[in-house]
Structure formats: structure tokens, C-alpha cells
Amino acid sequence: MALMPVTEALQRVLAGARALPSETVALNDALGRVLTQDVMALRSQPPAAVSAMDGYAVRSADVGQAPVTLKLIGEVAAGHPFDGKVGAGEAARIFTGGMMPEGADTVVIQELAARDGNTVTFQNPTAKGRNVRGQGIDFAKGQVLLRQGHRLTGRDLMLAAAMNHPRLSVHRRPKLAVLGTGDELVAPGSQPGPGEIVYSNGFALIAMARSEGAEVSDLGIARDRVEDIAAAVRRARDWGADILLTTGGASVGEHDLVQKALATEGLDLSFWRVALRPGKPMMHGALGGMQVLGVPGNPVSSYVCAFLFLVPLIRRLAGRADIDHPTEAARLGCDLPANDERADYLRATLTPDPDGPIATSLPSQDSSLMEPLAKADCLVIRPPHAPAAGTGSPCVILKLGL
């Protein structure tokens, strides 16, 4: 099978992906989720005119000229409305958030008042409506304030709560099962024996998926046996995974058994091998309704492939409109050689500059090196057959996330 261009491979990954069904969740579980229906205000905010300051609720007709002394007839605190009415020559002590008593239309702040027992004197006039938040000044009952397809922020959740919605209808979180493969892998904290290495890929991949809002099941490490890998695949299906992500064993060597195991479970292979560096031996297919992404075992390759293909797939299933990673313009901080038939995604650091950020490729781009990956701020994209580029040349970057 020939190498597939990155853009075509991504199109295939997303071709069969549709936004997942809706579910109703509590506000505290709705952050980052996408609304499946419009949200209408169930109440006005504020529901009645309230004071914006601590002071005195008065009739504007009484304080249009000053000095003036008024009789105090009561007190209003937030949550404790005043039963009486403010008439001519009267005032009521009021605190921030207190509901304006009948008859009053203005609040004089306490700093401009001098109280003496049951009277209060104002030395300066105050305009009508001053320091009063009118009924519905924020929003009115019946207004649609959040629209279907919107991805919810913390600010949106504040608004939805004020609209009196304890729950919202959103797309279900994508369910991702992650499987590491390889006889050489041991868990962190173990003492590796001869030929063994500590398993690390899954931690970055799981973190990436969770940061995108996916629900993740860690299937652990499967040995290099077809039956062990197939058993893990069945666990993913039984769990109801929307996506199975395997790391390692994606090539065709005698010990690269992931494709063979998936084939025994009925994999419909979409592609294998992408014109990408790092990450050429990446695989995609479907097992019924479960999408399968097989990324290479080299840590950087696994990360770059997940960043380029898994993240957009999760976003599509979650109902998001912003599927693609946004590219940005930068300038090279070092010389780069001509490229071959594969697209390069080079780890690079970013330096701010008045003329635009400078992206400097890290000295070693070996796909096994995790320290440069942790240090990188972005990936510099070099399309296939790109000519050599000198320092200061324009380039295109993808910023890396958490």
C-alpha cells in the first residue's frame, strides 16, 4: 500500500465520524461539551429592580435638589424585601442586591449621606435611576442566550445557572480505549530487565484525549501475541468504545501483530502508512461502529500521529465545529534542508519577536527522543518536497497543547 498524504488520511479518518447522540448532564459535567439544543432563559435577571450599591432607596423627586433631610422608614437587604412603600419625604436603608421598595426609583450611596437616628441628610442632588439595576437589565425570560452547536465555557455555565437551568442537553463524550503493545514494555516504577523499557506513550495519549473531553479507558499493555491483543480489542468493544487507539506493533515485522489481531476481529482497514515523518506506519480502520487508530511505538511518532488524527476525530464525535488545529505563521530560527516525499512535522521552540514568532527546530528529530518533545512549543510543518529554507524564512506551525 503506497504512502497516503496526510490530508487524505485525515479525510478518511473523519469521513465516517458523526457527532455522538445527546445526553442531559448536570452543569458541573458540561464544561467543554457541545449543546444539542438552544437554551432559553427561564427567568429574568435580575427578576426585579435592585440596588447596585449600599445606600438609601429614595424617590428621585425628593433628591433632585439638596440639601434635603428624609425620614427613615425601614431597611432592605438582599433576600429580604421591604413590605412598605417609600412615600414623599421618606427613605429606606438598602444594601447591594436588595430589591427596590415600592415608590423608590433611586439609590443614594452611603458615602454621600449623613444619618442621624431616624433621619438621613443628603448634601448633593442625585439623578433619577442612579445606582439601580433595572429588572431584566442582564437578560429577560424567554431570551435564547446559548445556541445549539456552541461549546460551553465556564462563563456559559454561569449564565446557564443564572437562567435557572440545572442541567443541559449536550453531545455524549467520545469513549476512547487506549492499548499499549509490546513484550518489551513494563509499567513505570518497575525495574526493567534486559531488553525491557518503561511504557510511556499511553500517558501522553490519555492526557491528550482527556484534555479534549474524551472519556478514556486504559487497557494497559498487551503482550506480542495475537490472542492477547485480540482479547484487549474485545474488551474495548464490550466497554462501548467509539475509538480504539493502539500504540506499537503497527508495522509489518514478525512481532508487529496489531493488524493481524485486528483482522481476526473483523477490521475493515482504511489505510496503513502515511507520508508523514514522524509516524509513517500509522493505521486506520473500523470494527463495526468503533474507529481504530494504530499509531507507531516510537514515543514522538505516537504523539504526533495522535495530535494530527486522534484529536480531530474526538472533536468531530463531540460535535465541535473547530475540528482542525489552527496553523499559524512564523519565521525559521535556523536553516532547514530540502524535504523528501514525506511531510515533516519538526519539534521546535518559539521565541517572541516584534515581527512575528521565531520557530527554531530542535537539533535532534529522532522519533524516540522524548526530552526534545517535552521542550517543544510547536511543530514546524514542512510539506513533501519542500526546498531548503534559510533562517528567517516564513514557515507554518502548529502550536502544541497540554
Q: Is the pLDDT of residue 1 over 60?
A: no
Task: Tell me the per-residue pLDDT of 58-80, one tens digit each, with 9 for 90 and over.
Answer: 999 999 999 999 999 999 999 99
Task: Tell me the per-residue pLDDT of 377-402, one tens digit each, with 9 for 90 and over.
Answer: 999 999 999 999 999 999 999 999 87
Residue 260 in grid coordinates = 493481524
- Mean pLDDT of the region 160-179: 98
Q: Is the pLDDT of residue 286 over 70?
A: yes
Phi-psi region of 288 (alpha: psi -120 to 50; beta: other; left: phi over 0): left
Q: How confident is the model at residue 254 (pLDDT cuts 50, 70, 90)?
A: low
Q: What is the DSSP secondary-structure string of 292-351?
A: EEEE-SSHHHHHHHIIIIIHHHHHHHTT-S--SPPEEEEEESS-B----SSEEEEEEEEE
How far lies 176's CA from each of 48, 59, 203, 280, 338, in Å? 47, 63, 13, 22, 38
How far lies 129's CA from each of 59, 85, 111, 212, in Å? 9, 17, 17, 47
Query: At 11, phi and psi to the nearest 5?
Result: -60, -40
Q: What is the pLDDT of residue 2?
A: 75
Domains of the chain: 6-20+173-317 (3.40.980.10), 22-45+138-171 (3.90.105.10), 50-133 (2.170.190.11), 327-399 (2.40.340.10)
Burial of 19 (0-12, 13-18, 19+ CB in 10 A): middle
Q: What is the pLDDT of residue 252?
A: 59
